[in-house]
Structure 1
Amino acid sequence: MTGNTPYAGQPTDTDPGRRANADVPELSPEQRRTLQAGLDTVVARTREYLPDEYVVGAQIVAGSDGPEGTVAVQPPIGHPVSAGLPADSDLDEGLDDDDRDEVARGLAASAALQVKQAVSDAIVPVAR
């Protein structure tokens, strides 16, 4: 059954269910630095929107289509939220400034919503 996957390759070359190394794009050191700089900017902007109790971090991970940047926020209570930023051919230009702001605002809002949803059951309404 795994021989039917598009990632199967030859039994001697690629394990079933895995992509061949030639199919997975690699980042040059300069592209990696550019992506990390963009991620660091998103992290800094996200921290501006949130109190210190929220933990914000970023890393470059291996995604299904190759390397991608991930920014994640762990609220003090509730589920963590994250956003993936793919490393594509336009990476040499860097991440757009408007996109960085949009991702930061979205992550901050999602993390705040997680806290609101986590504590909403514990708060007793005072009026109807």
Structure 2
Amino acid sequence: MNKQLITLSTIFILCITACQKKDSTAFNPDNLKVSIESPLATQTYKKGDTVFIKAAASYTTEMHGYEISITGKDSTEIWGMDEHVHGSSFSIDTFWVDDQSEAQTLNLALTVEADHDGHQKTENRTFSIQ
């Protein structure tokens, strides 16, 4: 019982301290680089196609994650995901399968969280589905 309490206490402490800002450098949005490699703006997808989402982010200090959102008409979210990752750079490699039944232009928004103070940068990419 005592070992379990110590183990649980250790895990709890690690969870609380694992995601603290390690650098007190002031946020500079020019240093936060976000690029979307795919999908390309010139690509058109059909229902059932896999839309591969490849992107990269880098910053001068450790970042804290990202969120991806695909929106359609009236800015209604069709698909989304978020990841809590740490590092001064990371790559994103995921996908979405087109399940829409009408042709439209979609917007992919990639928002990278620089820190837990709300500093972020968003890159957008539009692409078409039929």
TM-score by length of 1: 0.30
More strand by share: 2
TM-score by length of 2: 0.29
**Quick check: which has more Rg, 1 or 2?**
1
Per chain length, whose mean CA-contact separation is higher, i.e. which structure has more relative contact order (CA < 8 Å, sep 6+)? 2
